[in-house]
Amino acid sequence: MSRTFRNLMVTGGAGFIGVNFIRWLFDQPDGPARIVNVDKLTYAGNPLSLLDVEKRAGDRYVFVKADICDAAKMKEVIEKYQIDAIAHFAAESHVDRSIVRPDEFVRTNIFGTYTLLQAAREHASQIQLFHHVSTDEVFGTLGDTGFFTEDTPYAPNSPYSASKASSDHLVRAYHETYRLPTTLSNCSNNYGPYQFPEKLIPLMILNALEGKPLPVYGDGMNVRDWLFVTDHCSAIWRVMTRAAFGSTYNVGGRNELPNLRVVEKICDLVDAKAPPLPGGKPRRSLITFVKDRPGHDRRYAIDCSKIERDLGWKPAETWATGFERTVAWYLSHFEWCAQVRSGDYQKWIATHYA
């Protein structure tokens, strides 16, 4: 079984994973004829990350500045561009922000997903697939052993993960109740190019480069499975084109590491690739332990054997190769990083997407 799509709508396509998905998809021989990127352009959305794609792809790429909670606009986009598939990335995703402002997460992640599902349902004769991109955080936390599987009960512990769990349940319900053709994937922690610098890995790379403190929550022994972003992109496309409707797949990198080990590896890579700090001190000396955040899950670990077995997908990057590629990218794209951190791109957005 293999599906093809002509006009793919990508929500949140100016965010980290969405940008990489669009960039990756334009290089694939089985990609859609046209990609319509729908993004509200919040603080983490940066269309400058796709300017070269826009020039290269011509009318195969369309950008629409819109809020997924706007039902009339979603209907307009689906009809105007004859959308036949939706890849839904758009979400508020930073756990720390969800603790301070949970209302934004409820609105975008729950009501926004509902709005899109309704729009897809109202165009049932046109929509071939609704794919929902989610997180392993919906499963809660693990002890020292065991793995999340597709059958693990949901037990979210932060407003962010609770809002994503709610959206997952809505997607499942729309398939079961209305027979909407859906697929769903839950991924582990992504890393790679174009990630907003508030996230752990780009924050640590840039702080290490500049000799700033490297804040690590608690004792640094919170464990995550790390997935290189283009591996995630290939998994999503494999699910979208080959998986049975109503199915769910876990996507992991098989790279389970404590946060402290991740930061130490970044320090060593930056030491090897960048000018030394004053006095030649190692960047590991910048590591600073800070008070743990509320509801900080101790360990996530993904069992991705189902997608490997059913769909023949496996991650291409190990943690060693993926981290080296990531550090090298940020060190060679410092202008992009400076622009994002300064917020100057927001002025460009205001001019071009009024």
Residues designated catalytic: 136-137, 160
Task: Say how many CA atoms lie within 13 Å of 29 toward its Cβ.
Answer: 0
Alpha carbon 117 to chain centroid distance?
Answer: 20
Residue 276: Cβ within 10 Å count: 12
Instruction: Name the token pair of 345.
Output: 């791109």
d(CA 173, CA 290): 41
Alpha carbon 216 to chain centroid distance?
Answer: 22
The kind and range of the H/E element at 175 are: helix 159-178
Residue whose tokens read 């307009």: 76
d(CA 222, CA 219): 8
**Greatest CA span in the chain, whole angstroms?**
67
Residue whose tokens read 């300017």: 51
Alpha carbon 300 to chain centroid distance?
Answer: 16
User: Strand ranges (DSSP E) for the chain?
Assistant: 7-11, 34-39, 61-65, 85-88, 129-135, 182-187, 189-191, 214-217, 223-228, 247-251, 256-258, 287-290
Q: At what angle do helices 71-80 and 112-122 cross, to 10 degrees?
A: 40
Single-letter amino acid, residue 28 = Q
Contacts with 207 (C-beta within 8 Å, 6 or more apart), sequence order: 213, 214, 286
Instruction: Name the token pair of 335.
Output: 């202008």
- Residue closest to 83 by CA, chosen among 131, 47, 14: 131
Contacts with 71 (C-beta within 8 Å, 6 or more apart), sequence order: 115, 118, 119
